Structure 1
Amino acid sequence: MTKPVIETTAMIAGMRPELQDAEFAFVVWPHDKAWPEGTRASCMEAEGLSLIVPIDAAPAGAISMKCITLRVHSSLEGVGLTAAVSDALAQSRIPANMVAGYHHDHVYVPSDLAEKAMDVLLDLQQGAGE
């Protein structure tokens, strides 16, 4: 197990974005219904239970998203990685939904913009390593 990275520039320089093949959707899910196989995350909100599910488990018309995992083992106490990633994507007009796990951060972007998002994140990473 690697030691978590806490310094901002080191997190960005080492983020190693990795585009996942699968497509997902953010949905509101009934409390009494079993979660679909392959559910990636959940969030209990005042309005209901939100899940990130495989696109084929989502209702028709759901927005297809792809997940980019930032492979750096970022510290939960680290400051600036999420801000840098979301700012870079915003400057390129790419919507981004961030989900933090214990070991890695995950960025969900519209499927049709996923390759462009990868280019933006690789440029950001390269710039931090210079």
Structure 2
Amino acid sequence: MHPNQEEPPAHGPAERDLTRLLTGLRPHLDPHRYVYATVTGGIPPGLDPVVTVREDEGRTLVVRQEEADRAGLPYAYVAGWITLRVHSALDAVGLTAAVAGLLADAGLSCNVVAGFHHDHLFVPYERAEEAVDLLGRLAADAGA
């Protein structure tokens, strides 16, 4: 193993095959509302972002809506957080396109964040359950 290569996770290697990725989606909807906010400087006290992105204009935070409200932080885009529980490889090809395309065809915006083990989707909160249903059908169709 190369010195900079990490050990594979205990639950097995990451998946690269698109058909297996799609059949194994197992989407999970977190019950909370999440919002996108931006700050300059550090993360304000009391916030525990699930995503941070550093940009020239400031730091984008994805946080639970109630945390943003408590901190008096203005925000946009109230989202539902869906985790695709398949262990996707970071270099897998086609999963993001398949998922985003499906949701786009249904008129759903989708902001995708790749974690080391899973992909995470932020979709309009009021349509998050619909998105989970669509993803479940995608997984079933891929296995047919």
TM-score (norm 1): 0.93
1:16-52 deviation per Cα after TM superposition (whole angstroms, max 9, x unaligned): 1011111110110221443543310111112211011
Aligned length: 130
Distance 1:31 1:11, change over 3 A: same
Shift of residue 60 of structure 1? 5.1
Q: Percent identity?
A: 36
For the residues of structure 2 that align with 1:24 and 1:100, how far apart are their CA atoms? 17
Contact 1:89 1:96 in 2 (8 A): yes
Distance 1:41 1:35, change over 3 A: farther
State the match for 2:6 in structure 1: none
For residue 61 of structure 2, what is the amino acid of its counterpart? L
Unaligned runs of 5+ in 2: 1-10
Tell me, what secondary structure is at the counterpart of 2:61? strand
For residue 34 of structure 1, what is the amino acid of its counterpart? P
For the residues of structure 2 that align with 1:36 and 1:108, how far apart are their CA atoms? 22
1:80-104 deviation per Cα after TM superposition (whole angstroms, max 9, x unaligned): 1100000000000011100000000
Contact 2:37 2:74 in 1 (8 A): no
Write out aligned runs for 1:1-130 (5 A).
1-34=11-44, 36-58=46-68, 59=73, 62-130=76-144
Name which one, 1 or 2, has greater alpha-carbon Rg: 2
Contact 2:15 2:92 in 1 (8 A): yes
Distance 1:52 1:35, change over 3 A: farther
For the residues of structure 1 that align with 2:97 and 2:130, how far apart are their CA atoms? 18
Distance 1:35 1:123, change over 3 A: farther
Greater Cα shift, 90-99 or 53-62: 53-62
For residue 12 of structure 1, what is the amino acid of its counterpart? L
TM-score (norm 2): 0.84
For the residues of structure 1 that align with 2:79 and 2:142, how far apart are their CA atoms? 27
For the residues of structure 2 that align with 1:35 and 1:101, how far apart are their CA atoms? 24
Unaligned runs of 5+ in 1: none
Shift of residue 3 of structure 1? 1.4
